[in-house]
Amino acid sequence: DQQVKQNSPSLSVQEGRISILNCDYTNSMFDYFLWYKKYPAEGPTFLISISSIKDKNEDGRFTVFLNKSAKHLSLHIVPSQPGDSAVYFCAASGDNDMRFGAGTRLTVKP
Amino acid sequence: DAGITQSPRHKVTETGTPVTLRCHQTENHRYMYWYRQDPGHGLRLIHYSYGVKDTDKGEVSDGYSVSRSKTEDFLLTLESATSSQTSVYFCAISEASGRTYEQYFGPGTRLTVT
Task: Sort residue B42 into left (φ over 0), alpha (ψ -120 to 50) or beta.
Answer: left
What pLDDT score was predicted for residue A89? Answer: 97
From CA A107, how far away is CA A77, in angstroms rounded?
A: 12
What pLDDT score was predicted for residue B81? Answer: 97
Residues A21 and A11: beta-carbon distance below 8 Å? yes
Burial B4-38, CB ≥16 within 10 A → b, else e: bebeeeebebeeeeebebebbbeeebbbbbbbbbe
Which residue in B42, B90, B106 is closest to A103 by CB distance?
B42
Q: Do B105 and A49 touch (CB under 8 A)?
A: no
Which residue in A34, A51, A94 is closest to B102 by CB distance?
A34
Residues A22 and A8: beta-carbon distance below 8 Å? yes
Q: Give B5-30 pLDDT, tens digit per residue.
A: 999 999 999 999 999 999 999 999 99
Mean pLDDT of B94-111: 85
d(CA A78, nearest CA chain B) in Å: 23
Whether chain B has a CB inside 8 Å of the CB on A45: the answer is yes
From CA B39, how far away is CA B26, in angstroms rounded?
A: 30
- pLDDT band with cut points at 50, 70 and 90 for residue B42: confident
What pLDDT score was predicted for residue B99? Answer: 59
What pLDDT score was predicted for residue A53? Answer: 93
- pLDDT band with cut points at 50, 70 and 90 for residue A20: very high
Query: What SS3 class is residue A83?
Result: helix
What pLDDT score was predicted for residue B100? Answer: 65
What pLDDT score was predicted for residue A94? Answer: 83
Q: Do B100 and A41 touch (CB under 8 A)?
A: no
Examine the pLDDT at A98 and tell me if it is beyond 90.
no
Q: Mutation test of the interface with chain B: which of A98, A104, A105, choosing the one with the most B Cβ atoms within 10 A?
A: A98
Q: A94 contacts in B (CB within 8 Å)?
A: 99
From CA B102, how far away is CA B59, in angstroms rounded?
A: 19
Examine the pLDDT at B1 and tell me if it is beyond 60.
no
Looking at A52-66, B40-54, B65-79, which range is the least confident one? Answer: B40-54
Q: Give A67-96 pLDDT, tens digit per residue.
A: 999 999 999 999 999 999 999 999 998 877
Examine the pLDDT at B2 and tell me if it is beyond 90.
no
Examine the pLDDT at B94 and tell me if it is beyond 80.
yes
Q: Which residue of B has its CA nearest to A103?
A: B42
Which residue in A94, A100, A103 is closest to B99 by CB distance?
A94
